[in-house]
Amino acid sequence: MPVQQTFAASRNATWAPTLIYQYRGRPLPLAGARIDMQLRLYPGQPGNAMLTIRNVPFTDKLVGGTGNSEDDLRELTLEPSVKPGAVDGSEPNTLRSLPGLQTPEPGDPQTFAFDILITYADGQSERLAGGSFIADPGVTIA
């Protein structure tokens, strides 16, 4: 079952959290896998995503157990990153390029839907996490 989360970012600063997901069992088959994250206006929005982070860097490590048991505790660590982009919003796939900066009122945050998808080497996919991504306008303009 995917993890439900809420993330927040400022449009005027790089968003680069370290996301740690713990799970029990044997290691996931991550050799040759890819992890991507998308933001959309709402869940299931057709067409292109508002923002896509491809090939999110990740590591998977044993944090408790023998290394070969269903009871092992493991951590999958992700390091997504999105730059703020040009002040006028003209740079695609950045925080400032997201729609809604002046809607409904200037200065209001905008909420998007996100998900994080693991695509394994065999082409199978699994949704790791999803939820709300709040883009706040920020105050300091560089």
Share of the chain above pLDDT 90, in %: 82
111 pLDDT higher than 80: yes
What is the dihedral sign for C-alpha 27, 19, 110, 137? Answer: negative
133 pLDDT higher than 70: yes
Which two structure tokens, joined as six digits, stand for 123? 């082409």
Q: Among candidates 67, 78, 6, 69, which has minimal Cα distance to 37?
A: 78
In this structure, what are the phi and psi dihedrals at residue 14, rounded to the nearest 5 degrees?
-65, 135
Nearest 5°: the CA angle 129, 130, 132 is 140
CA gap 16, 19 in Å, rounded: 9
CB atoms within 10 A of CB 18: 8
6 pLDDT higher than 80: yes
For residue range 29-80, list pLDDT tens digits in order.
Answer: 999 999 999 999 999 999 999 999 999 999 999 999 988 889 999 999 999 9
Give the pLDDT of residue 105: 77
Give the pLDDT of residue 35: 98
CA gap 134, 137 in Å, rounded: 10
User: Residue 104 — pLDDT band, cuts 50, 70, 90?
Assistant: low
Share of the chain above pLDDT 70, in %: 96
> Which pTM value belongs to this model?
0.91
Q: Which residues is 88 bridged to in the sheet?
A: none
